[in-house]
Each structure stands twice: as C-alpha cells, then as structure tokens.
C-alpha cells in the first residue's frame, strides 16, 4: 500500500453509546433504552445485563424489567451533543471535524509535542470524556477515514486495516451487497482489485473512497470553527421536584463551562440557566456579574443564591446552561516579591484583591436583592433637584456641576405634600422658614417646575428643605380677580 500522507496522524473519537449517553451522561443506576418506533436501538450497560436486546420491542423490555427508562431517539440532541464534544475537543487541537452520526476526527499531528506523545493525548481524552459522562472508542491512523475505521473496530494505533471486514466500510448498502456477492470478505480482498474495474462497476465514488482511505488522495475535512457560544444540558431520568437537589448537576455544568472558558481564555459577564419539563413551559433565569469572571466557585455561589428565590417550579426534567457573550481575559502579571497585584485606577494604585472583593460583593448583593439593588451615585447637570443626580452602575463615574447653594443630604424620591395654616407650612408642628426663597424655575423642555425653596426648621430641631409651588401662569393668575390662591407646600429634603 503506498501512502502519500503517511506523516499525518488522525485520531477518531467514536461514540457508540451516544444516543443513550445524551440522556444519562454516564451516571445512572437504572436501565435506560433508546427506541425508534418502539424498537430498542441502543441501551446502557445495566439494560444489557438484564438481557435486553437490540431490535426487541418495548413490551419485551417491560417484561424483563418494569422500572426501565425509555427515551425516543433524538437526532437533534445527538448532533447538539456531538457539537458540544467537538468544542470540548478543541482544547486538544484546533483541527476538529464532525463525522456524523457519532464520531469526531482530530488532527493531532501538530499537538503531539505539546501533549507529550500520543498516549498522553489518549489518556487525557479518555479521562475528560469520562468526566463529562461520555464513553468513546479511540482510533488512530494516518488518514481520517482509516482512523474512523480503526475506532469503529477498536484496532490498536496505526494497525494495518487489511483484515477489516467490508461491512465496516462507510459505503452504500448496494455496493456492500455487490461486494459480498463477489466473495469479498475483507478490505484486503477489495484492495487487490484494480481501480479501473472498481470504478466501472461501482462508480467513481467508491474508488475515490478507497484512495482517500489509503491516503493516496487528499481528504480535506471541514473543521469546526471556534464556537462563540456555550450550551450544555443535563437530562434527569426522573423528575426533580426540589430545587436544592439541582446543585450537583449545576456544579457539573459550571465545571464544563469553566473548562470551556479556560480553553479559550475568556471571561463571561452573563449566563443563563433554563429549567424545563416536558409538561410545562421552560423557566429560565440569568445571572449577571458586575465584572467579567471565570471562576466556577463564584458562579456556583451566585446560582445558589438565585435558586433560593425560585419557588414556583414544580418539576424539572432537564437543565441547560448557555452563554453567548464573552470577553477575553487580560493576563495580569503578579508582583514578583509580594504576590499582590495592582492596577492603576483614577490615578490611585488599587490592589486587585480589593477590586475583586468589591466586584464579588456587588455580584452577591445583586444576585439576592435584584439586578438594580446596588448602585452608585452621580451628579447630573440639571437645576431641577430631582434631576441633579442619577443612579449609576458601580464603577462608572459621571461628573456634573454641583450647585453652590445649600443642599440637603437626603432627598425625598417624591415631594411630600405638607398641610399649611394661614399660608405657613406645617409638618407635625409649625415649620420656621430660615433661608430662602431660592427660586428654581426651569425644565420647560420636558417636565417644567416652578418652585420657591426654603430651608425650614421643625420645632423639634430638624432642618427640612421645603418648597412652595409657584403659580403656573403668573399672567393669568394676576389678571383674574381671584385672591392669591394659596399655593401648596411640599417637603423635598432632609438636612440629615
């Protein structure tokens, strides 16, 4: 066999149990089977020990075991899982291709040095997959197709494929049947035939397939591109009724998520969970972070705080974690001697530990009290007292010109109407006007105000900032015969 691409090395991950594992993720004590049209197609090892067989009907299965869990085969979910696995395998090599229905092809030639040899890569792949709850058969060969075949037949690395039975080949059933009729048993028999004869008999695609298999023709693969979003899902075999027991699956999802982030050197500022059940609408919640993070423990803490608030979910049969927006991590180098990290902020040296603590506090507070519960304060350029400030997100600073006039330390969100007696304002006692009036009359462009502000003292000693409304249209008020109608008084601030 002549090989032109014999210095290439391909690793194939074949997932024979993928249809089952998308539901079980490797962790279950129950027999699980996957059916197509009420016939078993796949099953887990527990179902196999009970004596179930591929092709038997569900009736037979229920006779063998009554508490068997049955799922309809789900192609979309399989593809989703395969995509997820491809993204996961991206940490081993940038060249990952999908081979449906249940295989991945990894070009590992250039990764051998980094991982210290083929055996190391294989061990790490197996370990990682076991952690994710998937089981794969690995095959290594010089061409993608050959790697695929060695994975399917579980051959040792780069073993000759001559004895491979022809049923394993990825060709149309029609060709396979003809080959069998011709008396071909193994790949070796087929390869002994001249290509010209094969082309004439089976068409150009079969000959091409054999050439690509042997590396005589190039076999370009469509590699996955780095995915800008993360999605992973765990399905429960039995319905989960209390939210507390979700912590373990969530921890697992977050672990995967952080591996994803680490492999790409990314941070995330928002991610969301979806809790769903087949009988009602899925319920989702998002977790927003004050600062982008990539810390699994922090994520778990915030998720738990969120879960405590959820009390209207009765049953859950799957949980999904997704994230779309990412930010790249900026590597920060530590101080050589102290191990502390500093950054410049507003011209002051800020310890990064302080900044991290502060972001953490804001995250925790927002997670429990609501998204806008924690805010900073800022000035705004406006003469109207209620518009001379605004709440801002932590860390953003806006400057305005502060009034030079005396302002109270506390402002009422809404002015509070005061009763008045003989034109004098009262607030559980007569208010004594000390300073004023300060007329604020502006805002004709949106919400006009016309007020006379005074500083007033309560008999008990407290100082208040109160105002009296000005007549809206002074010309009208004057022209009419009405005596000076008493204008209402309002309390607007407290000199705390």
Distance, in Å, from the CA atom of 334 to the CA atom of 442, rounded to the nearest integer, reads: 53
Least distance to other proteins from the beta carbon of 436, Å? 10
Distance, in Å, from the CA atom of 130 to the CA atom of 435, rounded to the nearest integer, reads: 76
Stretch that binds other proteins, among 175-183, 222-230, 330-338, 364-372 (CB under 8 A): 364-372
Distance, in Å, from the CA atom of 72 to the CA atom of 253, rounded to the nearest integer, reads: 24
Stretch that binds other proteins, among 41-49, 138-146, 169-177, 341-349 (CB under 8 A): 341-349
CA torsion through residues 39, 41, 42, 48, sign: positive
In the list 245, 270, 351, 476, the residue contacting other proteins (rule: CB under 8 A) is: 351
Stretch that binds other proteins, among 223-231, 316-324, 389-397, 440-448 (CB under 8 A): 389-397
In 160-279, the DSSP E strands lie at 230-240, 266-277
In the list 360, 440, 449, 466, the residue contacting other proteins (rule: CB under 8 A) is: 360
Q: What DSSP string runs through 83-108?
A: HHHHHHHTTT-S-EEEETTTEEEEE-
Check residue 388 and report its DSSP letter: S
For residues 29 and 372, which CB has a smaller minimum distance to other proteins in the complex? 372
In the list 53, 270, 357, 419, the residue contacting other proteins (rule: CB under 8 A) is: 357
63 part of the interface to other proteins, by CB under 8 A: no
393 part of the interface to other proteins, by CB under 8 A: yes
376 part of the interface to other proteins, by CB under 8 A: yes
Stretch that binds other proteins, among 17-25, 51-59, 194-202, 388-396 (CB under 8 A): 388-396
166 in Cβ contact with 180 (< 8 Å):
yes
Look up tokens 């004895």; give the residue. Answer: 163
491 part of the interface to other proteins, by CB under 8 A: yes
Q: What is the chain's Cα-based Rg?
A: 36
What is the footprint of other proteins within residues 448-477 (CB under 8 A)?
455, 457-458, 460-464
416 part of the interface to other proteins, by CB under 8 A: yes
CA atoms within 13 A on the CB side of 26: 14
92 in Cβ contact with 114 (< 8 Å):
no
408 part of the interface to other proteins, by CB under 8 A: yes
For residues 192 and 460, which CB has a smaller minimum distance to other proteins in the complex? 460
For residues 50 and 494, which CB has a smaller minimum distance to other proteins in the complex? 494
Distance, in Å, from the CA atom of 469 to the CA atom of 449, rounded to the nearest integer, reads: 8
368 part of the interface to other proteins, by CB under 8 A: yes
In the list 396, 475, 479, 484, the residue contacting other proteins (rule: CB under 8 A) is: 396
What is the footprint of other proteins within residues 148-187 (CB under 8 A)?
none
Least distance to other proteins from the beta carbon of 356, Å? 8
118 part of the interface to other proteins, by CB under 8 A: no
Tell me the H-state helices in 215-246. Answer: none
397 part of the interface to other proteins, by CB under 8 A: yes
Least distance to other proteins from the beta carbon of 118, Å? 48
Distances (CA, A) of 261 to 180, 319, 321, 333, 416: 50, 20, 13, 19, 51
Distance, in Å, from the CA atom of 455 to the CA atom of 431, rounded to the nearest integer, reads: 9
350 part of the interface to other proteins, by CB under 8 A: yes
Strand partners, 493: 411, 465
Least distance to other proteins from the beta carbon of 400, Å? 8
In the list 65, 159, 374, 477, the residue contacting other proteins (rule: CB under 8 A) is: 374
In the list 178, 227, 235, 358, the residue contacting other proteins (rule: CB under 8 A) is: 358
Distances (CA, A) of 42 to 126, 236, 302, 403: 21, 18, 38, 75
The token duo for 352 is 């990064």
Could you give the 3-state DSSP secondary structure of residue 41? strand
141 in Cβ contact with 55 (< 8 Å):
no
For residues 239 and 398, which CB has a smaller minimum distance to other proteins in the complex? 398
Rounded to 5°, the CA angle 108-110-113 comes to: 100
Site string for other proteins, 423-452 (x = CB under 8 A): -----x---x-xx-----------------
205 part of the interface to other proteins, by CB under 8 A: no
Nearest alpha carbon to residue 243 among 316, 182, 137: 316
Site residues, other proteins (CB under 8 A): 345-348, 350-351, 354, 357-358, 360-362, 364-365, 368-369, 372-379, 385, 388-399, 401-404, 406-414, 416, 428, 432, 434-435, 455, 457-458, 460-464, 491, 493-496
């Amino acid at each position: 066999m002549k090989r032109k691409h014999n210095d290439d090395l391909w690793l194939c991950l074949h997932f024979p149990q993928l249809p089952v594992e998308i539901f079980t993720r490797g962790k279950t004590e129950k027999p699980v089977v996957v059916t197509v049209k009420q016939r078993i197609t796949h099953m887990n090892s527990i179902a196999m020990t009970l004596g179930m067989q591929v092709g038997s009907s569900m009736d037979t299965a229920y006779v063998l075991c009554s508490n068997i869990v049955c799922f309809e085969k789900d192609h979309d979910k399989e593809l989703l899982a395969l995509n997820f696995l491809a993204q996961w395998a991206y940490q081993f090599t940038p060249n990952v291709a999908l081979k449906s229905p249940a295989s991945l092809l990894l070009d590992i030639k250039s990764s051998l040095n980094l991982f210290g040899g083929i055996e190391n890569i294989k061990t790490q792949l197996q370990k990682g997959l076991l952690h994710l709850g998937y089981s794969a058969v690995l095959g290594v060969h010089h061409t993608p197709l050959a790697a695929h075949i060695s994975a399917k037949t579980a051959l040792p690395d780069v073993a000759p494929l001559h004895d491979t039975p022809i049923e394993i080949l990825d060709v149309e059933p029609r060709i396979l049947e003809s080959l069998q009729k011709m008396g071909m048993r193994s790949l070796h028999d087929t390869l002994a035939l001249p290509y010209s004869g094969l082309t004439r008999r089976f068409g150009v695609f079969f000959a091409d397939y054999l050439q690509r298999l042997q590396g005589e023709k190039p076999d370009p693969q469509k590699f996955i591109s780095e995915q800008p979003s993360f999605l992973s899902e765990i399905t429960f075999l039995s319905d989960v009724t209390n939210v507390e027991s979700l912590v373990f699956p969530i921890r697992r999802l977050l672990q995967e998520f952080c591996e994803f982030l680490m492999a790409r050197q990314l941070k995330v500022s928002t991610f969301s969970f979806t809790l769903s059940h087949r009988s009602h609408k899925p319920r989702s919640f998002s977790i927003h972070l004050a600062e982008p993070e990539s810390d699994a423990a922090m994520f778990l803490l915030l998720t738990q705080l969120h879960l405590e608030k959820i009390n209207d979910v009765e049953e859950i049969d799957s949980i999904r974690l997704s994230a779309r927006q990412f930010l790249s991590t900026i590597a920060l180098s530590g101080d050589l001697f102290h191990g502390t990290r500093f950054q410049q902020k507003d011209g002051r040296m800020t310890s990064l530990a302080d900044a991290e603590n502060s972001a953490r506090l804001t995250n925790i507070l927002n997670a429990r009290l609501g998204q806008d519960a924690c805010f900073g304060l800022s000035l705004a350029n406006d003469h109207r007292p209620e518009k001379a400030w605004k709440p801002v997100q932590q860390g953003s600073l806006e400057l305005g010109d502060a009034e030079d006039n005396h302002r109270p330390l506390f402002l009422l969100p809404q002015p509070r109407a005061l009763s008045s007696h003989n034109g004098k304002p009262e607030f559980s006692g007569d208010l004594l006007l000390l300073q004023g009036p300060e007329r604020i009359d502006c805002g004709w462009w949106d919400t006009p105000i016309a007020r006379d502000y005074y500083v007033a003292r309560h008999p008990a000693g407290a100082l208040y900032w109160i105002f009296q409304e000005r007549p809206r249209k002074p010309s009208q008020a004057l022209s009419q015969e009405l005596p000076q109608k008493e204008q209402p008084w309002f309390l607007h601030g407290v000199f705390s």
